[in-house]
């Protein structure tokens, strides 16, 4: 005895990594280099995996990312070279001079960017406040660690709202 079903056969669908959770400053407020150019909220502490989603968004905006530098405190595995979307990104780590809550991105075509790295385990409301504060074009420039410390103390949203009243440009969201 045989059975007939009306369901079409299953087909393989390529897996697509989730989009990066990212907020960037719309325009740098002054000539020279800003302390932070925005914020990134990765889903894990696996830089090899997370960098592809970040490059998907940033490569078309800033040019191909060629190098990254991080403080190894929050990244358990740091290979020297990472294959990202068909090209190699060289990774470096600096323990003494690099803020542990920041990633430095380099591109041959557009230069350098510094992003606040929001820990993956951060709650959504807290991450939203941090992303808004890091991407704001108003108020005094703050380091990545200063933003994280202010958020842990409960001060990021009130100090940010007093300074600007609105967030920076969010490129891609949650």
Give the DSSP letter string of 72-130.
Answer: GGG-S---SEEEETTEEEEEEE-SSSS-TTEEEEEETTTEEEEEEE--TTS-HHHHHHH
**H or E stretch including 55?**
helix 47-62
For residue 113, how far is the Cα from the chain centroid?
A: 11
pLDDT tens digits for range 23-54: 998 865 445 566 899 999 999 999 999 999 99
- Flag whether pLDDT at 165 surpasses 50: no
| pTM, two decimal places | 0.77
**Segment 90-130, tens digit of pLDDT:** 999 888 888 999 999 999 887 889 999 999 999 999 999 99
Query: 48-86 pLDDT, tens per residue?
Result: 999 999 998 898 888 899 999 999 998 988 899 999 988
Distances (CA, A) of 12 to 9, 19, 49, 52, 135: 10, 21, 22, 22, 39
Interval 133-158: pLDDT, tens? 999 877 777 899 999 999 988 855 43
pLDDT, the chain, mean: 80
In order of 57, 154, 165, the CA distances from 37 in angstroms are 14, 22, 18
């Amino acid at each position: 005895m045989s059975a007939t079903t009306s369901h079409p056969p299953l087909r393989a669908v390529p897996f697509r990594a989730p989009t990066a959770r990212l907020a960037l400053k719309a325009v740098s407020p002054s000539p020279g280099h800003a302390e932070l150019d925005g914020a990134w909220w990765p889903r894990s502490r696996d830089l090899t995996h997370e960098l592809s989603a970040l490059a998907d968004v940033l490569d078309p905006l800033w040019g191909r990312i060629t190098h990254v530098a991080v403080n190894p405190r929050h990244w358990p595995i740091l290979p020297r070279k990472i294959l990202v979307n068909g090209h190699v990104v060289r990774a470096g780590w600096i323990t003494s001079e690099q803020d542990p809550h920041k990633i430095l991105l380099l591109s041959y075509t557009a230069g350098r960017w510094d992003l606040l790295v929001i820990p993956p385990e951060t709650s959504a409301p807290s991450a939203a406040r941090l992303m808004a504060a890091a991407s704001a074009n108003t108020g005094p420039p703050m380091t990545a660690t200063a933003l994280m410390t202010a958020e842990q103390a409960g001060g990021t949203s009130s100090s940010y709202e007093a300074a600007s009243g609105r967030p920076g440009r969010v490129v891609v969201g949650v």
